[in-house]
Structure 1
Amino acid sequence: METNWYEGGLRLIEEVTTNAEQIQDELLSEILTRNAGTEYLRRFLHGQTDKQLFKKNVPVVTYEDLKPYIDRIANGERSDVLLAEPITGFLMRHEHVAFVCLQIFSGTSGGQPKLTPDIAEVANKWQLFRTLYESPVMKHFGDINQGDKRMEFLFARPEIETPSGLTATSVSTSVYKKSGFKAMLRKFHTSPVEAIFCPEPEQSLYCQLLFGLIQRDEVILVGSAFASTVLRAIKFLENHWQELCSDIKAGLISHRITDSGCRSAASLIMKPNPQLADMIQNICKSKSWEGIIRKLWPKANYVRCVCTGVMSHYTEELEFYCRGLPLVSAAYASSEAQYGINLNPLCKPADASYTFLPNMAYFEFLPVKNDHDESIEMRSNDNEDTESVDLVNVKPGHRYELLVTTSTGLYRYKVGDVLMVTGFHNNAPQFQFVERQNVAISVDQEKTSEADLFKAVTEAKALLDPLGFVLTEYTSYADTSSAPGHYVLFWELKQKEGNHCKELDPKIMVECCYRLEESLHYTYKIYRKKNIIAPLEIRVVKQGTFDALMDHYVSKGASLSQYKRPSCIKSKEALKILDSRVMGKFFSPKSPL
C-alpha cells in the first residue's frame, strides 16, 4: 500500500519518460487509427495510418486552417468532418489571454475566442495530468490534501452556446464544473464555488480574499494560474483591507457584494471575530508590505503560479510580497493539450524547465534559428519547409516551435510557443519556455519578439532600482501615426515602500529610453541609425492603469484567472485606456551604438 498518494504519480512519471519513444508512436497510431475515416484526414492519408506518411502528407497548420472544419461542427454538422469521437462541446480560449490549466497558459493577442472540440477523454486526461504535475510538488512540500486549505484565486467564465446547441467554455471553467473538483473545492479550498462562479470579477475577488483571511490559519498554499493574478489580488487587498477587516469584525459581508450566491456562502461561514480583524488590521497597516503574504497566511509553504515566460516580469514584485516563500511553476499546458511538468518545483522561476509527458499528445518540433545577434529577418519564422523533429530526437540548447497532434481533431497543429531544450529526464526532453512565435512589435521591416522586448526592459528598469522604484507592468505599442514610426513603452511604476509614486527624475527616464534601445536587437539599432525608426518613447502611467486594462479585457470575455497582459497593444480601446492615464512622456536622446 502506498504511504502517499503521489508516490504512484512519481512512478508513472518515471515509466512514461523512460518509454517515451514507444509511447509516442503508440499514441499517434491510436489517434490516426481512430480518425482515419474523417473527412480531414482522408484528404491526406486515404485511410492509411503510417507515421511517415502522416508526417509527409499531413500539413502543418494553424487555427485558421482548421477553423472552417470547427465552424461546420459548431453550426450543426457531424463531428466526423474532423474527428471520429462524438464531441461534448468546445473549449474556448480568447486570443488576448494565456492558458495553462491551473498552472501555465500560453496565449496570443487579438480578440475573438478560438474553439477546439471537447470530448469525454479530455476530462480524464486533465485529471491524470493534475496528478502528475502535483506529485513532484507533494514530494517536496507534503500532501496538501490532509485537511489543509489552498487559497487559490479561481474565476469561472460564462459559457456560450453555438448554433448546434453545444456549449463552449474555457478549460478552467470546464474543470471547475466537474463534480469531483467541486467536492475537492469544498474540502480543500478556501474559496466557495459561489465566489468562483460569481459573474462580477471584483465581487468574486473580494469574496475569495475575505474567505481566505477568515481561514488564514488553515492556508498552506497561496496561488492562481498566473503571477499577475496573485499580484492583482494583493493590490486589491491593499485598497480594500479596511473594509474586509470591518466585515470580519462584524461578521457581515459588505453591501458592495450584491451577488446572491456570494452572500449566501458568506452567511454560512461568517461570524463576528474582532480579534481576527484586529490582527489582520495590524499587519496591513504597516508602512511596508514586504512579506505580506507570509504575514497574513503564516502556514503557507509556497506560492503556486506561472512565473515563467512573460510572467517572469512579475517575479521581482511577487518575491517582495511573499519574501522567503518559494514560487512554484508546476506545469505547462494549454487549451489544446497538456505538455510538461516541473520536476524541480523548488528551483528559481528563471530556471524552471518542463519535462514533456509522452502520453499526453503526439509532439513534433520545428527547429527555430537560435541567434539573437543576427538580423531578425535572418531568423527562420517560416517553418513550412523545415522537417519536424520527434520528441526524443530534439537537441539540448536548440530552440523549437511546438506542434501537437491530439485525439480532439488537431493534427500537426502549431501551438505558437518557442521552447528551448535544457536537458532530458530519462528519455523525455525538458524545455524552457522562450516566447510566443510571432508576438512582436514592428514599425517597418524589423520585428522585435516578446523575448527581445523583455530582455531590453529588464536592462532598462535596472536604472530605477537604486531610486526605490519597481516597474510593476509594461506593454508596448507601434506608433505609426507619423513618419518615421517609433516604439512606445507604457510603464507603470511604484515605490518599494508605500503606495504612492514620488516624482520621477526626467534624466533617469531619458536614460531608461536609451538603455532600452541599446539593449534591442541588431536590426532595430541599424534602422534607428538610418532614421527608419524614430526615437523610442516611454510613457509613464498612473498606478492602477494596468488594472483598468485588465478590467477592460475581462469585460470583453476574458477570465480574470486566465488574463495575460498583451505584450503589444493593437486595440484602439485599450490604447485609449493607457493614453488617458499618462503622467509623463520621455524620449531616447540619441541613436543606440
Structure 2
Amino acid sequence: MFLFFVLLLGGGGLLYVALCLGRKVAGWRRWLGRWRCLRRLSRGKQRQRLESDTRDVKRVQETLLLHTLREHGETEYGQKHHFRDMQDVSSFQRLHPLTRYHHYKDYILRVSRGEENVLLPGRPLALLATSGTSGSPAAVPVTAHSAEESFLQGTAVCMEVVHRCFPRALQDMVKFSSSSSPTPLLSEAGIPTGPSPPASSSEFLRHLYSSPPPVHGITSHHQVRYIQLLFALKDPALGAIEANFSWLLREVFSILEAHWESLARDIQLGRVSRALELPQGTRRQIEDLLVPDPRRANDLRAQFETGFEGIAKRVWPGLQLVMAVASGGSELDAQILRDTACRGVPLYSPVYGAAEGVIGVNLWPTRFPPRYVLCPRSAFFEFIPLGVSEEEQPGTLCVQDVREGEMYELVISNRAGLYRYRLGDVVRITGFHNQSPLLEFLHRKSQTLSVRGERISEDGFYKTLRYATRQWPGAVLLNYCCAESGILGRFSGGSDPHYEVFVALKGVRDLSEDQRYKLDHSLQEHFSMYKSFRFKGSIGPVRVHLVRPESFRRLRELAASLSGAPLDCTPPPRTLRYRELVESIQRQVFS
C-alpha cells in the first residue's frame, strides 16, 4: 500500500514523502536520545558518588591534591616550585605561597601561544574567560579532565536532582542561551577561548532540550533572545526553562512584555517580523520551521492581555521548574523573577562554579536562597577566615576545619594549573552535608565599597538598600549600582568622600530628600564603622539618583566593551570601578 501511494504521488510527492520521513526519523532520534539521557539520569550515579565523597571529605581532598602534584611535577611550573618535595598537605602549604592571577599571567600567555608543559602537561582544552582575583578580565586554562569533572560533579548531579524531584520537568525543556556564535574564538596557537568550554561529555544533554532554532549568524543579543522565545512560546508543553543567569532570564521576559504582540503575530502567521533585521538565509531557515498556529497565538494573546505577573505558568501550564544562577549579584534578578514573571514556579540555582572549576552543587531545588554542597573531588579547597584575609599570606584552614556560621575567602588548587589561588569569592558556611560544608555565596571581594576603610560588601549593601527601599511607599527596586565618589575626582560634587547610588524603581517617579536619606540612615544602622565616620564628618551622606531600567542594559554593554569581556558573561555591574561607567549612568539620571 505504501509503495502504491509513492508511485501515485510522482516525483514531487516522492520529495514530500522523503522530507516527512526525514523529519520523522529525526524526531525518533531525538526521542531515543532523550530516553537514553533520562535513563542515565535516573540511575543517580553521580549523586551516589558525591554522597560517598562527602562522607570522607578529608581523604578525598588529600588524595586529589597529591595526585595533582604528581601529575604536574614535570611541568616547568612544577619543577620550579619543587612539587616532588611536597609529600602531604602541610608541606604543600608550607612550600607554596598563596597566589593571585598576576602570578600566572605570563605562564598563561605562553600557553596561549602554543608552549606545552608549562603549567600543565601538554596543552589545555581551552582558555576560559574569568573575572580573575582583581575583577578585571582574564583567562584560565581548562583541561579535558577538569571540564569532564565539572560536568560530572556539577551539571550531571543537578540533573539527577531535578529528575528525582521534578521528573516531568525533563520531558520537555528549553534553554535560553546567551550566545549565537557557532564557533569559539581561538588563541594564537589555535586554542579555543571564550566564556564557555567546547562541547565535551555534557553533549548528551542536548537531547533534553527542545530543538534550538538556527540562530547562527545573528550578532544581536536581542534578536537571539527573540527567536529563542518565539520557539519556546510555540510549545505549550514545556516542563522546565533554563538560562545560565537570572539576569539573562529577566531580559527574556522583558522582551516578552515589550514585544508580545509581535511574537503572537509571528506564531499566528508562521513567519518572523520584518522589524527583526535578520540575515536572509537565517530568516529562511527559521521560517521553514515555523508552521502557522492561529489557535496557539490566540491563547497566548488572551494570557498577555491580562498582565505579566505569573506569565510563565500561564503560557506553559505544565511548567515545573525554572533554572538559573540566583546567588550573589544575581539575587535581585532572581527575586524579581520569583515575584513577577515566574511567580508560582520554583527557581532552582543549580551550581556554584566559575571558569576555574565547579565549587558546589545545590541538592535542594525548592529552597531559597540557595546553598551549595562543596564538591570534594573538584579541586583542593582552603579557606581564609575573613578577618585576616587582607594579609598577603594569611593562614588557611582545610575543608574539615571550617566552622558553621563563619565567613571565609575561598582558595583553590585545581588540575588545570592554578595552585593555592585566591579566587576572590567570600562564602558563609551554613551547615554540613555529611562532612562537606554547605556554602552560601556572598560576594566578590573586588565588589566592596570603601572610601575610608569602612568596607561594605556587595551583599551587605544590597540587603541594606532593600531594607531602605521598603521604607519608600509604593517603590519596588528593579535595579541598582553604586560607586565611590573618588572615582570621579574633582567632579564628584563634594569635598567629603561618599557613595553615589543609582536606582531604577517601579511605582514611584521621585523621592523626597528625607526618603533618599533613609538609605544613609540604614547604612549607619547596619554598619557601625560607617556610622562612626559619618558622625565624625569624614564621610559625606549617600547621594541617591533615579534612572530608568533601560539604563542598566546600556551600562552592561559599556562594561563589556571597557573590560574586553564577552557580553555573554558580563553581569549587570553593581559596584562601578571605571570612571566611564559612572559618567555614563550619571548622564541618564532624571531625578
**TM-score (ref. length: structure 1):** 0.85
Deviation at 1:245, TM superposition (A): 1.3
- Tell me which residue corresponds to 2:20: none
Retained in 2: the 8 A contact 1:154–1:196? no
Instruction: Please list, as runs of the form range in 1=range in 2, the aligned pairs for 1:433-444 lying within 5 A after superposition.
Output: 433-444=441-452
Instruction: Say yes or no: does 1:61 pair with 2:79.
Output: no
- Tell me which residue corresponds to 1:569: 576
Q: Secondary structure at the match of 1:195?
A: coil
Deviation at 1:554, TM superposition (A): 4.8
Instruction: Say yes or no: does 1:551 pair with 2:570.
Output: no
- Tell me which residue corresponds to 1:376: none
Deviation at 1:271, TM superposition (A): 1.6
Instruction: Say yes or no: does 1:116 pair with 2:140.
Output: yes
Residues 409-430 of structure 1 show CA distances to partners (whole Å, capped at 9, x for unaligned) of: 0111111111111111112111
Deviation at 1:19, TM superposition (A): 2.4
Match of 2:268 among 218, 233, 249: 249
Deviation at 1:511, TM superposition (A): 4.2
Retained in 2: the 8 A contact 1:225–1:561? no
Code of the aligned partner of 1:246: R
Match of 1:531 among 525, 534, 537: 537
Deviation at 1:3, TM superposition (A): 9.1
Instruction: Say yes or no: does 1:34 pair with 2:59.
Output: no
- Tell me which residue corresponds to 2:322: 303
Deviation at 1:109, TM superposition (A): 3.9
Residues 95-127 of structure 1 show CA distances to partners (whole Å, capped at 9, x for unaligned) of: 6xxxxxxxxxxx9744xx311112221332233
Retained in 2: the 8 A contact 1:227–1:314? yes
Deviates more, 1:404-413 or 1:570-579: 570-579
Instruction: Say yes or no: does 1:168 pair with 2:205.
Output: no
- Tell me which residue corresponds to 2:456: 448
Residues 445 and 16 (structure 1), Cα distance of their counterparts in 2 relative to 1, 3 Å cut: closer
Residues 66-101 of structure 1 show CA distances to partners (whole Å, capped at 9, x for unaligned) of: 11111122234x232211243233112356xxxxxx
- Tell me which residue corresponds to 1:149: 173
Residue ranges of structure 2 left out of the alignment (5+ in a row): 1-35, 487-491
Retained in 1: the 8 A contact 2:410–2:425? yes
- Tell me which residue corresponds to 1:391: 399
Retained in 2: the 8 A contact 1:461–1:471? yes
Deviation at 1:128, TM superposition (A): 0.9
Instruction: Say yes or no: does 1:238 pair with 2:276.
Output: no
Retained in 2: the 8 A contact 1:6–1:131? no
- Tell me which residue corresponds to 2:28: none
Q: Secondary structure at the match of 2:337?
A: helix
Residues 244-271 of structure 1 show CA distances to partners (whole Å, capped at 9, x for unaligned) of: 1121111111221414564244223202
Task: Tell me, in whole angstroms, the C-alpha distance in 2 between the residues paired with 1:61 and 1:513.
Answer: 37
Q: Secondary structure at the match of 1:404?
A: strand
Match of 1:269 among 267, 283, 289: 289
Instruction: Please list, as runs of the form range in 1=range in 2, the aligned pairs for 1:124-523 lying within 5 A after superposition.
Output: 124-129=148-153, 130-142=155-167, 144-146=169-171, 148-155=172-179, 159-171=184-196, 174-175=197-198, 177-178=199-200, 181=203, 184-185=205-206, 187-190=207-210, 192=212, 194-195=214-215, 198-215=218-235, 217-255=236-274, 256-259=276-279, 262-286=282-306, 288-320=307-339, 321-349=341-369, 352-369=370-387, 380-464=388-472, 466-467=473-474, 469-480=475-486, 481=492, 482-495=494-507, 502-506=508-512, 509-523=515-529
**TM-score (ref. length: structure 2):** 0.86
Deviation at 1:344, TM superposition (A): 1.4
Task: Tell me, in whole angstroms, the C-alpha distance in 1 between the residues paired with 2:71 and 2:353.
Answer: 24
- Tell me which residue corresponds to 2:489: none
Deviation at 1:560, TM superposition (A): 5.1
Residue ranges of structure 1 left out of the alignment (5+ in a row): 96-106, 370-379, 496-501, 585-593
Code of the aligned partner of 1:167: P
Task: Tell me, in whole angstroms, the C-alpha distance in 1 between the residues paired with 2:484 and 2:202.
Answer: 46
- The alignment of Structure 1 onto Structure 2 pairs a total of residues equal to 542
Instruction: Say yes or no: does 1:19 pair with 2:56.
Output: yes
- Tell me which residue corresponds to 1:373: none
Residues 287-335 of structure 1 show CA distances to partners (whole Å, capped at 9, x for unaligned) of: x321111112211102111222222223432122212111111111110
Task: Tell me, in whole angstroms, the C-alpha distance in 2 between the residues paired with 1:276 and 1:515.
Answer: 52
Deviation at 1:48, TM superposition (A): 2.5
Code of the aligned partner of 1:448: I
- Tell me which residue corresponds to 1:579: 586
Task: Tell me, in whole angstroms, the C-alpha distance in 2 between the residues paired with 1:432 and 1:59.
Answer: 26
Q: Secondary structure at the match of 1:283?
A: helix
Task: Tell me, in whole angstroms, the C-alpha distance in 2 between the residues paired with 1:368 and 1:3.
Answer: 41
Residues 511 and 444 (structure 1), Cα distance of their counterparts in 2 relative to 1, 3 Å cut: closer
Code of the aligned partner of 1:454: Y
Retained in 2: the 8 A contact 1:91–1:117? yes
Code of the aligned partner of 1:335: A
Code of the aligned partner of 1:126: S
Q: What is the aligned-residue RMSD (CA, Å)?
A: 2.5
Residues 162-181 of structure 1 show CA distances to partners (whole Å, capped at 9, x for unaligned) of: 2333231222xx25x45963
Deviation at 1:59, TM superposition (A): 0.9
- Tell me which residue corresponds to 1:102: none
Instruction: Please list, as runs of the form range in 1=range in 2, the aligned pairs for 1:30-109 lying within 5 A after superposition.
Output: 30-45=67-82, 47-51=84-88, 52-76=90-114, 78-93=115-130, 109=135
Q: Secondary structure at the match of 1:463?
A: coil
Q: Normalized per residue, which structure has more helix?
A: 2
Larger Rg: 2
Residues 294 and 357 (structure 1), Cα distance of their counterparts in 2 relative to 1, 3 Å cut: same
Retained in 2: the 8 A contact 1:93–1:114? yes
Percent identity, aligned pairs only, is: 26
Q: Secondary structure at the match of 1:431?
A: strand
Deviation at 1:280, TM superposition (A): 1.3
Residues 465-502 of structure 1 show CA distances to partners (whole Å, capped at 9, x for unaligned) of: x41x211100001123342122111001123xxxxxx5
Retained in 1: the 8 A contact 2:357–2:378? yes
Q: Secondary structure at the match of 2:438?
A: strand
